[in-house]
Amino acid sequence: MAETSATQGTGEIDSRPRTSSWRYIGPGIVVAATGVGAGDLVATLIAGSKFGYTLMWAAVIGCLVKISLAEAAGRWHLATGRTLFEGWRTLGSWTTVYFAVYVVIWGFVYGATAMSSSALPVVALFPDGPGLKTWAIIMGLIGLVFVWFNQYAVFEKVMTVLIGVMFVVVVYVAVRVGPDVGASFAGLAPVLPDGSLIYTLGLIGGVGGTITMAAYGYWVNAKGWNNSSWMKVMRLDNRVAYITTGIFVVAMLVVGAELLHSSQLALTKGDRGLIDLGVILEDRFGAVTAKLFLVGFFATSFSSLIGVWHGVSLMFADFVERIRADRAAGGAGAGASAEPGGPQIARQEKSVPFRAYVLWLTFPPMALLWLDEPFGLVIVYGVLGAFFMPFLALTLIWLLNSSRTPAEWRNGWLSNGMLAAAGLLFLVLCVQQVRDLPW
């Protein structure tokens, strides 16, 4: 029987604790790779270019915040045998309304963003080939075909390769520009230079923090981890993934501090800032380093694309399934899953709602590729998107302190403190994002 099986020979659930082992690691790598996109890289670079190593401490705190959030999502799935959406359903119908509106609008705009972001480095690598719109459509179609015909095991392997490429490339570039080790350690002291508050909050909250953090529990189940016996394994997986992300963010800060801050160079805002960085790297270190960086840029963007195509589609499939189950039960509310997480996820990966959402992420957003600024939609997307992370943090506090969670696995003071801090942080970021909109 496979290592990830949830049953004993008798067919009963095997609840014996598994020994945490490196060989099990996977879902955490997937959620970390998905959550770190090209926009996060630019934000980190700009923070480094403006303030040097001063905000290094914010990257460390951001890593701890993400570990806490992902651990809480995974713990809910393993401790209760329920998906996160099942938990949300028990909090009231308002969660259903919010998620339904959010996931439709967010997916529409994100699809275009992800396709464009994945196409940018390809256009830079092959300037004589097709244009940005053509490559963006090709990226979306590749993501569609890959997710449509592959299940979690293959998906995880590809994501592991992509995060390996992005990690190695970014760390290589950081070493190449020559980090100032003394300044790096000095940056661990919490200091707020003038004008750095928003950059600091963004660095803590932005990198690796998206709706895909809520998908972590689904990927945990897809791995075959179905009950609390996998808790130690999940926690090791989660920590390794976000420590890797933390190193990745620190490396980008080093590049921003050494390459941009010292030379007083500025980047274009948005994903195109990475193209600017590629040009700077070519001038400084030659074409080989610049092309390697563009390969890392592609790995970062495309891993986010296929991660969302898979993870958020799983959440949408679960959303539809729970609505149907509730209606079939006469509105009595969602109960515990009737089957172990692995088989349930495998079935959902082939379901009509899963594939319908993958199609929604791929084809309708292509229309936005011809609009320079889909102004109204971007405003609505910005407002809804800003509210998701506080929603996730605060609902996890609610679920994991209630009788819905077995007493053994409810939040302790540390988990409550970290989730409350995350909720407050994301709420401040949310208010700031809403204030920054051109009303």
Angle at 156 between CA 207 and CA 216, to 5 degrees: 50
pLDDT for the residue numbered 258: 87
What's the token pair of residue 60?
Answer: 């460390």
The C-alpha atoms of residue 11 and residue 212 are separated, in whole angstroms, by: 33
Please list the residues that pair with 7 across neighbouring strands.
Answer: 13
**Length of the chain in terms of residues written:** 439
Q: Closest Cα to residue 241, out of 215, 211, 210, 208?
A: 208
Residue 238 has a CB neighbour count (10 Å cut-off) of 28
Query: What is the DSSP secondary-structure string of 361-383?
Result: HHSGGGGGGG-S--HHHHHHHHH
From residue 283, alpha-carbon distances to 103, 276, 288 in Å are 42, 11, 11
pLDDT for the residue numbered 152: 94
pLDDT for the residue numbered 336: 47
pLDDT for the residue numbered 275: 81
Asked if 25 and 241 touch (Cβ cutoff 8 Å), the reply is yes
Reported as a single tens digit per residue, the pLDDT across 221-238 is 999 998 999 999 999 999
Reported as a single tens digit per residue, the pLDDT across 331-382 is 555 444 545 466 778 889 999 999 999 999 999 999 888 875 544 544 555 5
pLDDT for the residue numbered 8: 47
What's the token pair of residue 319?
Answer: 């959303």
Q: Helix H segments across 150-286?
A: 152-177, 181-186, 197-206, 216-222, 231-255, 272-285
pLDDT for the residue numbered 10: 43
pLDDT for the residue numbered 2: 40
Would you call 13 helix, strand, or coil by DSSP? strand
pLDDT for the residue numbered 183: 87
Q: Closest Cα to residue 115, out of 306, 344, 269?
A: 306
Question: pLDDT tens digits for the chain (439 residues)?
Answer: 344 444 444 444 565 667 767 778 899 999 988 888 777 777 788 888 888 889 888 888 888 888 899 999 999 999 999 999 999 999 999 999 989 988 988 898 889 888 988 998 999 899 888 988 999 999 999 999 999 999 999 999 999 999 999 999 999 999 998 888 888 888 888 888 887 777 787 777 665 567 888 999 999 999 999 899 999 999 999 998 888 888 888 888 898 888 877 676 666 666 677 788 888 899 989 999 999 999 998 999 999 999 999 999 999 999 999 888 888 876 555 444 545 466 778 889 999 999 999 999 999 999 888 875 544 544 555 555 667 888 999 999 999 999 999 999 999 999 999 999 888 887 877 777 677 666 5
Asked if 117 and 37 touch (Cβ cutoff 8 Å), the reply is yes
Query: Which residue, chain included where needed, has tokens 């990475």?
Result: 274
The C-alpha atoms of residue 353 and residue 317 are separated, in whole angstroms, by: 5
Q: What's the predicted TM-score (pTM) here?
A: 0.89
The C-alpha atoms of residue 408 and residue 388 are separated, in whole angstroms, by: 28
pLDDT for the residue numbered 72: 96
